[in-house]
């Protein structure tokens, strides 16, 4: 059995154990973050039946996934990195989910491109929960305006996404995002990575973005 499958099985067992402790039946979706890994490292997971994969860069994703997605219609590709407006056309073509919408101009460009391509992409709004100047994401105080605009232009808003600051206490940021989800009556939270996905489950994470925990360290 390939090491990535073994790792995925272990992670699923840990998640199920955590769900039992928090008395939840809502199993989160595991996005295997395959950015920078070649397709030969990813194929064992695809053959095992895993369907959700995360990428950071549009061009890399097109080169890696275009043929594979045509062969396997069940694959769902998630863009979890920053999206530049000049890459939106290609992003809408290749991705099923975009987790990083954080401003009106980007939202408008995605909406226009969806109309041209007659394709709907599922959207997460990225929130800068730690107010970090160097990090992408809409500021908390501007989230309501962005959400209203996204609804106005009929984007399919799934929920909220965050990348917390590096700290010993990611839970305070997960808690903050959950409160925002509840405030706006959204369904989904994209949060929790290889080092903190079990903590994210405490706050109703629905989409876990796990890379090194499945594929190992990137070279």
Q: For residue 200, which of 68, 78, 28, 83 has the smallest C-alpha distance?
A: 28
Whole-angstrom CA distances from 29 to 15, 33, 188 are 10, 12, 10
129 pLDDT above the threshold of 80: yes
162 pLDDT above the threshold of 70: yes
Contacts 24+ apart (CB under 8 A), 172-176: 173/129, 173/130, 174/199, 174/200, 174/202, 174/203, 174/205, 175/203, 176/129, 176/140
Mean pLDDT within 24-40: 93
85 pLDDT above the threshold of 90: yes
**pLDDT tens digits for 188-203?**
999 999 999 999 999 9
Residue 217, pLDDT score: 83
Interatomic CA distance for residues 52 and 163, integer angstroms: 19
Mean pLDDT within 41-46: 96
Whole-angstrom CA distances from 198 to 175, 216, 219 are 13, 18, 25
Residue 84, pLDDT score: 95
Interatomic CA distance for residues 65 and 113, integer angstroms: 20
Percentage of the chain modeled with pLDDT above 90: 90
pTM recorded for the entire structure: 0.96
Residue 219, pLDDT score: 65
CATH numbers and ranges of domains, the chain:
3-14+28-211 (3.20.20.10)
Name the average pLDDT for the chain.
95
């Amino acid at each position: 059995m390939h090491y990535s499958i073994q790792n995925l099985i272990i992670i699923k067992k840990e998640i199920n154990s955590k769900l039992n402790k928090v008395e939840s039946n809502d199993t989160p979706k595991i996005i295997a973050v395959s950015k920078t890994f070649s397709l030969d490292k990813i194929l064992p997971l695809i053959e095992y039946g895993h369907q959700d994969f995360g990428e950071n860069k549009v061009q890399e994703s097109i080169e890696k996934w275009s043929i594979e997605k045509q062969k396997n219609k069940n694959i769902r590709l998630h863009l979890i990195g920053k999206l530049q407006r000049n890459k939106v056309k290609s992003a809408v073509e290749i991705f099923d989910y975009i987790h990083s919408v954080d401003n009106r101009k980007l939202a408008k460009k995605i909406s226009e491109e969806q109309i041209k391509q007659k394709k709907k992409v599922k959207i997460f709004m990225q929130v800068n929960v730690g107010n970090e100047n160097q990090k992408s994401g809409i500021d908390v105080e501007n989230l309501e305006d962005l959400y209203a605009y996204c609804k106005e232009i009929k984007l399919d808003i799934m929920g909220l996404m965050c990348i917390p600051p590096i700290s010993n206490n990611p839970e305070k940021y997960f808690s903050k995002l959950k409160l925002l989800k509840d405030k706006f009556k959204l369904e989904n939270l994209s949060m929790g990575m290889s080092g903190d996905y079990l903590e994210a489950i405490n706050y109703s994470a629905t989409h876990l973005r796990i890379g090194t925990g499945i594929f190992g360290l990137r070279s």
